[in-house]
Amino acid sequence: MKFDVREPLVSVGANGQNFQNDVRVVQTELKRPGFYSGAVNGHCDILTTYAIREYQSNFMFVPDGLITMRSETWDYLSNPLRKLPCGAYDPSVVVPVPFEEDATKKKLEGYLGKHIKDICPIGYVGINNCAHFVAHAMGIRIGLLCDEKLVSHKKSNSLAVSIRVNEIFNSLDDRGLWNSKPSHVDGTLVFVTPKNNVNNNEMTDHPKKHIGILHGGKVYNYTNSASKVIADISPDDFLKKFKQKNVYGSDTELYYGIY
């Protein structure tokens, strides 16, 4: 299928509208110079947002992971004759594209063992940091942001991200019980919480909730008890550790969400 990069684009990336055809167009164009290594599937997952930030780092001091039609990013991306300042984008050069699994795994496993203070450039360390980690890894800016919790907070910082699990869950158009998840699951968010904490597919601000990123079968998440990023070997194990220790109760359920 051929996509015309000159067609109108709304917004793709972190907190974008992420219409499937728009995402495909961006994925296709980022793939040409080797910034994007995944499938052109119209899903704006962690790899797509990461590729946008990598591309923007060539001309933006603080990449925001978002492309809109009138942005500088779209101007560069939609005009193959306009080279990036660093000269990285030369349409005459074919850049080998690595496998999606390797690229995403490398990014997520780079977080393993890290304390949130080594992940958050704002310097905020909360009591519960599972949503905080996921939001930094995926560039999610929804609801209360980490910079708003600092005493020194004066104005919104473009590096600030979300810190509340329920606000992330409730903002997702495609979410629900794990057993109703779509077939495409890599890059989706995984949530665990008591069943009575979700009513009409809306999650309350109950303290018993947790979030992780699913990729390659593993769930990457931040354990507050050990204060570091870990990877559970499967969604079942992610759920089991909460049920076995009876942390959230026997009615604990697994949920999915596509960002």
| C-alpha R_g of the chain | 19
Instruction: Tell me the backbone φ, ψ of residue 200, rounded to 5 degrees.
Output: 55, 40
Looking only at the bridges linking them, the beta strands covering 252-258 and 189-194 are antiparallel
The more confident residue out of 158 and 234 is: 234
Domain boundary among 47, 68, 98: 98
pLDDT tens per residue across span 31-62: 888 888 778 888 887 788 888 988 888 888 87
Predicted confidence at residue 82, as pLDDT, reads 65
Is 207 in the same domain as 83?
no
The more confident residue out of 139 and 108 is: 108
Residue 130 lies in a domain: yes
Residue 21: pLDDT band (50, 70, 90) is confident
Residue 1 in this model has a pLDDT that exceeds 50: no
Whole-number Å distance between alpha carbons of 77 and 71: 10
pLDDT tens per residue across span 125-181: 999 999 999 998 887 888 999 988 765 555 556 678 899 999 999 998 889 999 998
Is 66 in the same domain as 143?
no
Domain boundary among 42, 73, 98: 98
Residue 105 lies in a domain: no
Looking only at the bridges linking them, the beta strands covering 189-194 and 228-232 are unpaired
pLDDT tens per residue across span 169-224: 999 888 999 999 887 777 789 999 999 999 999 999 988 999 999 988 999 999 99
Residue 98 in this model has a pLDDT that exceeds 70: no
Predicted confidence at residue 103, as pLDDT, reads 61
Residue 236 lies in a domain: yes
CA–chain centroid gap for 203, Å, is 19
Predicted confidence at residue 256, as pLDDT, reads 95
Is 84 in the same domain as 197?
no
pLDDT tens per residue across span 57-94: 888 887 888 999 888 898 888 876 666 665 444 444 44
Instruction: Tell me the backbone φ, ψ of residue 191, rounded to 5 degrees.
Output: -120, 150
Question: In terms of residue numbers, what domain contains 152?
Answer: 110-258
Please state the domain count of the chain.
2
Which helix (H) or strand (E) segment holds residue 60: the answer is none
Is 61 in the same domain as 125?
no
Predicted confidence at residue 95, as pLDDT, reads 42
* Residue in the structure block whose two tokens are 């939609």: 78
Predicted confidence at residue 102, as pLDDT, reads 52
Predicted confidence at residue 89, as pLDDT, reads 43
Is 160 in the same domain as 240?
yes
